[in-house]
Chains A and B, each alone.
Chain A
């Protein structure tokens, strides 16, 4: 079967795959799932050591993708500031906004 046609594995199935005997095409197919299953980091996972040692360019790709994901975490901190017009717009509409009352828990039916 063409690896691209293989079904998406769940995390349990990923654990049971034999990585050492995989072809590059199979590794390519499963790579998004490996990243997802191992918290975005596989380059220092012993399960992948043999395959990555056999394919240095593949190992470089994996490390680049890990680096991109790690660098992305720095973007959580805000970078931009809205113009003053945003608050002016909010203020002008705020007078017509009425906070909705706190949602009440549904009343329990009386015991029969």
Chain B
């Protein structure tokens, strides 16, 4: 049975993330109305309004420009096909995000990528233990990480960690929603997120941009 990415496995995003996404875009409601009536120019307007968000989301989830562009194209074509099923129960951008996330996840499953390794999650290796992080006298990361540095660090995460981190910490989905999307338990989602943040801490501490600031903090009186 063909899965429908507009509905499959994704519940409403939490209010905070919705709120951040739901800021009204001038002309969006009118463009939507015209698109529903079959006006091709309206599709162009909607594409212009949402292309960057959709593409950025695809690129972060896939880590590959070609695949991200292909999925962006698929997401908008799917949107045009399903435009009449948007009922305005959530903001259009939230609906578009859900649709995109589900399309990307379906794409990854087709490629045979295991999004969450249950075995790995239930039996964390010593490498993943946070205990190794205790005992260090390093200065705090606070103030040492800018957007670009974090973006680069996120790109270095293993795919499973990156997916949960993006869905939870960036996109604002709750663990129960992520569990449904990724077909894992909520405990699994929490565990993967925690490991993702630990891994990011390790990457950030060693990134040249952060390391320089941390070094300065260390020598400050």
Contacts and interface: CB of A to CB of B under 8 A. Distances in A.
A64 interface: yes
A35 B191 CA distance: 10
Secondary structure of the A contact surface, majority rule: helix
A75 B154 CA distance: 10
Secondary structure of the B contact surface, majority rule: helix
Interface in A87-104: 87, 89-90, 93-94, 97-103
Nearest to B68: A82
A107 interface: no
B170 A31 contact: no
A14 to B, nearest CB: 11
Given A67-B141, A79-B56, A35 B194 contact: yes
Contact of B51 (A65, A81, A100): A81
Interface string B51-78: 1110111011000000011001100110
Interface string A55-66: 101101101110
A76 to B, nearest CB: 6
A78 B52 CA distance: 6
Given A33-B190, A82-B51, A103 B130 contact: no
A28 interface: yes
A99 B81 contact: yes
Interface in B26-74: 36, 38, 40, 43-44, 47, 51-53, 55-57, 59-60, 68-69, 72-73
Given A63-B140, A80-B52, A102 B85 contact: yes
Contact of A78 (B53, B130, B134): B53
B183 interface: no
A4 interface: yes
Contact of B47 (A60, A87, A93): A87
Chain A interface size band reads: 35 or more
B171 interface: yes
26 contacts: A4-B124, A8-B191, A24-B131, A25-B131, A33-B187, A35-B190, A58-B134, A61-B130, A65-B194, A67-B142, A68-B141, A68-B169, A72-B154, A73-B169, A74-B147, A75-B154, A76-B170, A81-B55, A82-B52, A82-B55, A90-B73, A94-B43, A99-B36, A100-B84, A101-B84, A102-B84
Interface of B: 17, 20-21, 36, 38, 40, 43-44, 47, 51-53, 55-57, 59-60, 68-69, 72-73, 76-77, 80-85, 124, 129-131, 133-138, 140-142, 145, 147, 150-151, 154, 165, 169-172, 175, 185-187, 190-191, 193-194, 197-198, 200-201, 204
Interface of A: 4, 8, 24-25, 28, 31-33, 35-36, 55, 57-58, 60-61, 63-65, 67-69, 71-76, 78-83, 85-87, 89-90, 93-94, 97-103
